[in-house]
Amino acid sequence: MISRVRAFLDLAILVGAIVAALLAVSGLLGGVFAIFDLVNHFQLLIFIATIAGLAASLIWPFQKSAFRRPVQLLLLVPLICSTLLLGPDAVRRVLSAEADPSMLIEQNRAPLKLMSFNIYLGTWDGNGLARSILAHNPEVVNLQEFPPKRFRRQQALNKAYPHQAKCDDWKTCTLGILSKYPLTDIKHFDLNDGPGRNPIHGKMLAATINAPGRAPLRLYNVHFGWPLPLSAKQTQFKRAAEIIAVDAANNPNQIVAGDFNATGWSFAVDGFADQLGFSRRSQFLPTFPAPFSKIKGLSPPAFLSLDHVLTGPTLSSGPVVRASALLGDHWPILTTLYIPKR
């Protein structure tokens, strides 16, 4: 009986290695076939599981010793594929962390500190929200899942950020921009082609930030939908790109930030950035789940990089980093933008 169980486990391990290899290869095909790109949202988990599997294969007492080598060879496939997808992102993050801010300032650019934060629609803790934001003192705050009226009497936020742009109705749009500087040309957009699965997804809020001594900055706060249905997500990206491209004639200094519901190591986000001619500044930065998020009662470490900052060709930025917070199911992200001086 024991030998049969061990033989079954050996076979299960072999099948698992085959499945992992097929998944990893399909992820590489995501650049050609968008449906396979869904696998890439979990590439970090695949990479970690593969490392663990390879380590276990060295000590697992295979009943059929001939299984050991095929299992190890098969596990090398997802290891290589995941490294090819995750590696460039990790390298770019290291290189961005080494950027010298003084060089950017010398290039006739002025800094502006930006935070982007999906606070979670179920958040009611106004004091916690204010403390989370004010602890980092950003000049502009980009908020998702931010009900427009729930925190309207939050005095600390209103005092620090007297200029605010919000959606009209929390049932269909939960985006907000809080700024220390005047905001003009405020617009909000529905990027969906008809009703979606989640009414707050597929929305964009735009505003021009007029900071002293700096050229006007056009900020697009986005909350894209989930990866599925695929056609809906593609429509949202396409419509956002069209709006931003048209805006570029009057607003050359552009930035897109928010919750993309797509990982940075998937092809979708970089494809969207390429459409715009923008650069993705958020590199290898898992932001979901945050410590306050619960997935089936558990609080796993972040493994999805859903929150991003994309900058247009006239802008530079420092590294995008995670920031601490007292609430929210996403980690907030922070960066310093370098904007042409006025």
pLDDT score recorded for residue 85: 93
pLDDT score recorded for residue 146: 95
205 and 315 inside one domain: yes
- Return the number of other C-beta atoms located less than 10 Å from residue 152's C-beta: 12
pLDDT, tens digit, 9 for 90 and up, residues 200-254:
999 999 999 999 999 999 999 999 999 999 999 999 999 999 999 999 999 999 9
How distant, in Å, are the alpha carbons of 201, 202, 231, 295 from that of 197?
8, 10, 12, 20
182 and 252 inside one domain: yes
Question: Rounded mean pLDDT of the chain?
Answer: 92
pLDDT score recorded for residue 295: 66
- Say whether pLDDT at 3 is over 60: yes
Asked if residue 68 lies in contact with residue 280, where contact means CB atoms within 8 angstroms, the answer is no
CA dist., res. 275 & res. 309, Å (int): 15
CA dist., res. 114 & res. 337, Å (int): 7
Q: Which residue has the tokens 């299960």?
A: 12
160 and 249 inside one domain: yes
CA dist., res. 88 & res. 100, Å (int): 21
pLDDT score recorded for residue 179: 98
Of 68 and 305, the structure prediction assigns the larger pLDDT to: 305
> For 10-21, what is the mean pLDDT?
87
134 and 218 inside one domain: yes
- Say whether pLDDT at 1 is over 60: yes
147 and 36 inside one domain: no
pLDDT, tens digit, 9 for 90 and up, residues 27-84:
999 999 999 999 999 999 999 999 999 998 888 888 778 888 989 999 999 999 999 9
151 and 189 inside one domain: yes
- Domain end residue (candidates: 45, 73, 95): 95
Asked if residue 202 lies in contact with residue 195, where contact means CB atoms within 8 angstroms, the answer is no
How distant, in Å, are the alpha carbons of 143, 185, 240 from that of 273?
20, 23, 11
The partner residues of 110 in beta bridges, in order of sequence, read 339
**In sequence order, what are the residues at sequence separation of 6 or more whose Cβ sits closer than 8 angstroms to the Cβ of residue 195?**
none
Is the Cα torsion angle 325, 330, 335, 337 positive or negative in sign? negative
- Return the number of other C-beta atoms located less than 10 Å from residue 167's C-beta: 19
- Say whether pLDDT at 187 is over 90: yes
Instruction: Enter the DSSP assignment of 289.
Output: S
129-133, 191-195, 316-320: range with highest mean pLDDT? 129-133
Where does the pLDDT of residue 7 fall: very low under 50, low under 70, confident under 90, or very high at 90 and above?
confident
Q: Is 124 strand, coil or helix? A: coil
59 and 185 inside one domain: no
Of 306 and 1, the structure prediction assigns the larger pLDDT to: 306
pLDDT score recorded for residue 168: 80
CA dist., res. 178 & res. 113, Å (int): 12
191 and 329 inside one domain: yes
239 and 133 inside one domain: yes
Cα distance from N-terminal residue to C-terminal residue, the chain: 79
6 and 155 inside one domain: no
- Say whether pLDDT at 174 is over 70: yes
- Say whether pLDDT at 281 is over 70: yes
116 and 153 inside one domain: yes
- Return the number of other C-beta atoms located less than 10 Å from residue 199's C-beta: 16
User: Concatenated DSSP letters for 277-311?
Assistant: T-EE---S---BS-TT--BTTB-PPP-B--EEEEE
Asked if residue 195 lies in contact with residue 201, where contact means CB atoms within 8 angstroms, the answer is no
- Domain end residue (candidates: 64, 95, 126): 95
Residue 127 belongs to domain with CATH number: 3.60.10.10
Of 216 and 148, the structure prediction assigns the larger pLDDT to: 216
CA 220 to chain centre: 15
* Whole-number CA gyration radius for the chain: 22
Is the Cα torsion angle 311, 317, 321, 327 positive or negative in sign? negative
Instruction: Give the number of C-alpha atoms closer than 13 A to the C-alpha of residue 111, restricted to the C-beta side.
Output: 16
- Domain end residue (candidates: 30, 64, 95): 95
- Return the number of other C-beta atoms located less than 10 Å from residue 198's C-beta: 12
**Structural domains of the chain, count:** 2
Domain that holds residue 301: 103-340
pLDDT, tens digit, 9 for 90 and up, residues 107-124:
788 999 999 999 999 899
pLDDT score recorded for residue 107: 74
89 and 113 inside one domain: no
